[in-house]
Amino acid sequence: MAKSGKKAKSVESSHSERIGPASTPIFQTSVYNYPSLSALDDYYSGLIPGAYIYSRNGLPNAEELGSRVSALEHAEKGVVCSSGMAALFVALCSNLKAGNRVLASTDLYGGTSVLLREELVRFGIRASFVDTANISGFCKETEVSHPSVILVETISNPTMKICDIREIAKTAKETGALVIVDNTFATPFLIRPIEKGVDVIMHSGTKSLGGHSDLTIGILCGNAKLMGRAAQFNTRIGTIAGPFDCWLACRSLSTWQLRFSRSCENALRMARFLEKKRDGVARVYYPGLESHPQHELAGELFEKGMYGSMLSFDIRGGPTEAEKFIKALSRATLTPSLGSYKTTVSHPGKTSHRQLTAEQKKLVGITDSMIRVSVGIEDFNEIQDDFNKAFKSL
Ligand code: PLP
């Protein structure tokens, strides 16, 4: 009794000694003052732990965000960039040089696809694309073409294919390729790719980690060596994020697990509801459905019996019906992003994958009647009523 009383007192006193803000302040400064040239020398020699000098080299709010996301991903270190695409560019270009090859999944966010097809190719970095749903074909191609980097999404945007990153990591180790995984759709709530042997994880924090449609940010996670080089490259090209967006993202992270788990539950209910709407829906794409061709694999890879907050469906008819349906929704909004606390819909063919040619869209399986849903945390009945009303308008 005396012992526990003593312990309680020491906890109290340690709390009262630590008086400070309950939330990390926003360090809205672009540069720091130094008292002397020798202090500057000490900074550059790494003799002042935790010191900052200039925002492009690093800032406290970014440091906090990088640490928190890398902890969630069970990685050694995190690097924060100005957007998901900036993070991807940093991950790729800090590891590639002219003449190198990238092997990527055919199913990627449209922006990632055009970055590889139209931008990196101008710098002598060529990419080839193979369907990761055929994992043995993908691994065989890795052995044949010896890419320097492999780039895949854990759950693909917008067709919800699942990538067996365990097999990819195994083959990559044998062939010496670096594996970068976009974990934006799955998030560390479902899978932590580092534990499966992947080298670098990339997040568009603009999506569910941010969760409120009010910030743009990207985060990379990996080992200290790879992240050290990524941080250096990020500083050199200036793709750093500002303090306020980092602060917003940290604020959001505190409630992210609750939000994401609720969205996953709602998404499964929504997928089941849509699957039963046979008169209005031709196909539902959601890994949590038994009808998903990789449902078993998703169950093996993902934790908590959950399958993510994103789903897509093909509406019966074509673009006219898709337009009619979207216009008839009154709660869910047409918002060409994802991961918000509220349910939003999008049309991949006209938004996220607009830049793809008709042939590329066909290859990936993006149809004119495809609607992508980012399921929010509302009372499920409210979302269902909204969708039911929109189906009745067809
Ligand atoms: N990766 C995926 C899967 C995405 O959906 C997106 C954007 O929609 C990105 C990357 C790019 O992220 P950002 O818009 O933050 O640059």
The tens digit of pLDDT for each residue in 268-293 reads 999 999 999 999 999 999 999 999 99
* For range 108-118, the mean pLDDT: 96
% of residues, the chain, pLDDT over 70: 96
Q: Which band of pLDDT confidence, cut at 50, 70 and 90, is reported for residue 249?
A: very high
25-36 pLDDT, tens digit each: 999 999 999 999
The tokens of 363 are what? 């290859």
> Ligand 1, closest atom to CA 88?
10
* For range 5-22, the mean pLDDT: 58
Residue 2 has pLDDT above 60, yes or no: no
Residue 229 has pLDDT above 50, yes or no: yes
Quote the pLDDT of residue 14.
53
**CA 91 to ligand 1 centroid distance, Å:** 14
Q: Which band of pLDDT confidence, cut at 50, 70 and 90, is reported for residue 299?
A: very high
| CA angle (117 as vertex; 194, 89 as ends), nearest 5 | 45
* For range 299-314, the mean pLDDT: 98
Q: State the Cα–Cα distance between residues 379 and 32, nearest whole angstrom.
A: 47
Q: Which band of pLDDT confidence, cut at 50, 70 and 90, is reported for residue 16?
A: low
**260, 208 Cβ separation under 8 angstroms:** yes
- What's the gap between Cα 324 and its chain centre? 30
- Among residues 182, 149, 179, 155, the alpha carbon closest in space to that of 167 is found at 179
Residue 316 has a CB neighbour count (10 Å cut-off) of 17
> Ligand 1, closest atom to CA 153?
3
* For range 134-162, the mean pLDDT: 97
Place of tokens 């303090």: 243
> Ligand 1, closest atom to CA 337?
8
Quote the pLDDT of residue 19.
87
Q: Which band of pLDDT confidence, cut at 50, 70 and 90, is reported for residue 3?
A: very low
Out of 152, 207, 354, 372, give the residue to mutate to test ligand 1, the one with the largest number of ligand atoms within 8 Å of its CB: 207
344-368 pLDDT, tens digit each: 999 999 999 998 999 999 999 999 9
* For range 186-190, the mean pLDDT: 98
Q: Which band of pLDDT confidence, cut at 50, 70 and 90, is reported for residue 15?
A: low
What 3 state SS string does the chain have? Answer: CHHHHHHHHHHHHHHHHCCCCCCCCCCCCCECCCCCHHHHHHHHCCCCCCCCCEHHHCCHHHHHHHHHHHHHCCCCEEEEECCHHHHHHHHHHCCCCCCCEEEEECCCCHHHHHHHHHHHHHHCCEEEEECCCCHHHHHHHHHHHCCCEEEEECECCCCCCECCHHHHHHHHHHHCCEEEEECCCCHHHHCCHHHHCCCEEEEECCCCCCCCCCCCCEEEEECHHHHHHHHHHHHHHCCCCCHHHHHHHHHHHHHHHHHHHHHHHHHHHHHHHHHHCCCCEEEEECCCCCCCCCHHHHHHHCCCCCCCCEEEEEECCCHHHHHHHHHHCCCCEECCCCCCCCCEEECCCCCCCCCCCHHHHHHHCCCCCEEEEECCCCCHHHHHHHHHHHHHCC
Q: What is the CATH number of domain 53-251?
A: 3.40.640.10
Average pLDDT for the chain: 95
What fold is seen in the domain 255-392?
Answer: Aspartate Aminotransferase, domain 1 (3.90.1150)
| CA angle (92 as vertex; 90, 93 as ends), nearest 5 | 65
Q: Of all protein residues, whose CA lies closest to atom 14 belonging to ligand 1?
A: 84
> Ligand 1, closest atom to CA 108?
3
**CA 361 to ligand 1 centroid distance, Å:** 18
Residue 40 has pLDDT above 90, yes or no: yes
Q: Of all protein residues, whose CA lies closest to atom 15 belonging to ligand 1?
A: 84
Q: Which band of pLDDT confidence, cut at 50, 70 and 90, is reported for residue 18?
A: confident
- What's the gap between Cα 264 and its chain centre? 15
Quote the pLDDT of residue 109.
95
User: Reading across the β-sheet that carries 344-346, which strands appear in turn?
Assistant: 281-285, 310-315, 370-374, 344-346, 333-334
- Among residues 249, 193, 253, 246, the alpha carbon closest in space to that of 222 is found at 193
Q: Which band of pLDDT confidence, cut at 50, 70 and 90, is reported for residue 13?
A: very low
Quote the pLDDT of residue 8.
38
**180, 104 Cβ separation under 8 angstroms:** no
The tokens of 210 are what? 């941010």
Out of 206, 220, 366, give the residue to mutate to test ligand 1, the one with the largest number of ligand atoms within 8 Å of its CB: 206
**112, 83 Cβ separation under 8 angstroms:** no
Residue 329 has pLDDT above 90, yes or no: yes
Q: State the Cα–Cα distance between residues 110 and 361, nearest whole angstrom.
A: 10
Q: Where in the chain are the domains?
A: 53-251, 255-392
Ligand 1 shell residues, CB under 6 Å = 83-85, 109, 111-112, 153, 157, 182, 184-185, 204, 206, 216, 218, 352
Q: Which band of pLDDT confidence, cut at 50, 70 and 90, is reported for residue 10?
A: very low
Residue 145 has pLDDT above 60, yes or no: yes
